[in-house]
Amino acid sequence: MRFERREHRPLALVILTPLLAIAAALALSGILIAAAGAPVLEAYWRILVGAYGSRLSATETLTRATPLMLTGLAAAVAFRARVWNIGGEGQFYLGAIAVAAVGSQLLGNAPGYLSIPLLLITGAVAGMILLIIPLWLRLKFSVDEVVTSLLLNFVAVLVVSMLIDGPLKDPLAFGWPQSQAVPDVAMLPKLVFRSRLHWGFGIALILAFVIHFAQSRTVFGLKSRAAGLSPEGAVFAGVPLARTLLLVACVSGGLAGLAGAIEVMGVKGYVTTDLSPGFGYSGIVVAMLAGLHPLGVVLAALFTATMFVGADGMSRALKIPSYIADVTVALSLITMLVAVFFAQYRIRR
In the complex, the residues that contact other proteins under the rule CB under 8 A are 2-3, 7, 32, 36, 84, 86, 137, 141-144, 146-148, 150-155, 158-159, 161-162, 165-166, 217-223, 225-226, 229-230, 232-239, 281, 284-285, 288, 320-321, 323-324, 326-327, 329-331, 333-334, 337-338, 341
Question: Could you tell me the CA-to-CA distances from 229 to 224, 226, 241, 284 in Å, in that order?
Answer: 9, 5, 12, 19
CB of 35 to other proteins, least distance (A): 8
* Residue 223 identity (one-letter amino acid): K
Choice between 110 and 132, CB closer to other proteins: 132
- Cβ atoms of 114 and 177 within 8 Å: the answer is no
**For the chain, how big is the Rg over CA atoms in Å?**
21
Phi first, then psi: give them for residue 198, nearest 5 degrees.
-125, 180
- SS3 readout for 112-170: HHHHHHHHHHHHHHHHHHHHHHHHHHHHHHCCCHHHHHHHHHHHHHHHHHHHHHCCCEC
CB of 275 to other proteins, least distance (A): 15
Choice between 258 and 333, CB closer to other proteins: 333
CB of 309 to other proteins, least distance (A): 16
Choice between 200 and 221, CB closer to other proteins: 221
Task: Specify the DSSP class assigned to residue 189.
Answer: P
CB of 154 to other proteins, least distance (A): 5
Choice between 55 and 341, CB closer to other proteins: 341
* Residue 258 identity (one-letter amino acid): L
- The string of DSSP letters for 301-335 reads HHHHHHHHHHHHHHHHHHT--TTHHHHHHHHHHHH
| Burial category of 43 from C-beta neighbours within 10 Å (exposed 0-12, middle 13-18, buried 19 and up) | buried
Positive or negative, the CA dihedral 281, 26, 303, 317 is: negative
Q: Name 198's bridge partners.
A: 190
CB of 185 to other proteins, least distance (A): 31
CB of 130 to other proteins, least distance (A): 12
Phi-psi label, residue 313: left if phi above 0, alpha if psi -120 to 50, beta otherwise: alpha
CA atoms within 13 A on the CB side of 346: 7
Choice between 3 and 176, CB closer to other proteins: 3
CB of 188 to other proteins, least distance (A): 29
Choice between 195 and 322, CB closer to other proteins: 322
Choice between 84 and 303, CB closer to other proteins: 84
Choice between 191 and 339, CB closer to other proteins: 339
CB of 133 to other proteins, least distance (A): 9
